[in-house]
A = this chain, B = another copy of it.
């Protein structure tokens, strides 16, 4: 199951990352291969875990989630990381969690309805987690860029 991604794979991915609704036959035409080939490649990329499906892009503020924030978490000991992750997984407001270098032990991205909701999550859900010493909050006032990587 180890397969090197070739240039055709990368081209397919790049085109689909730009517009995932595009038809395979259309992509096939642009790249000069048949629609079946695109299908076979995408199936392989899915099975390999290179592609993890697709995601609906929803504007959070349009559904009532107006506050985006980043939380730096200090743990008492780094070894408590695994337990803390499991507990943070139970907090649906956390959309990203990273184990990072630097002064923080962990770094989370969190999306809430409003500042009151954010305070509730911080005080009632995050801070009570065992091993969490303190947190630092960065509130995003504006998301100026949001896009995917360019793979070639």
Binding site for B on A (CB under 8 A): 5, 10, 13, 16-17, 19-21, 48-60, 62-65, 68, 70, 85, 88-89, 92-102, 104, 106-108, 111, 136-151
Contact = CB atoms under 8 A, between A and B. Distances in A.
B21 A49 contact: no
A5 B70 CA distance: 27
Contact of A56 (B54, B147, B150): B54
A117 to B, nearest CB: 12
- Between A92, A100, A137, the greatest number of chain B beta carbons within 10 A of the residue's beta carbon is seen for A100
A150 to B, nearest CB: 4
Nearest 10 A/B pairs, CB to CB: A97-B145, A98-B140, A50-B62, A99-B142, A52-B57, A92-B150, A102-B138, A20-B56, A97-B144, A101-B139
Contact of A146 (B19, B57, B58, B96): B96
A52 B58 contact: yes
Contact of A149 (B93, B98, B136, B145): B93
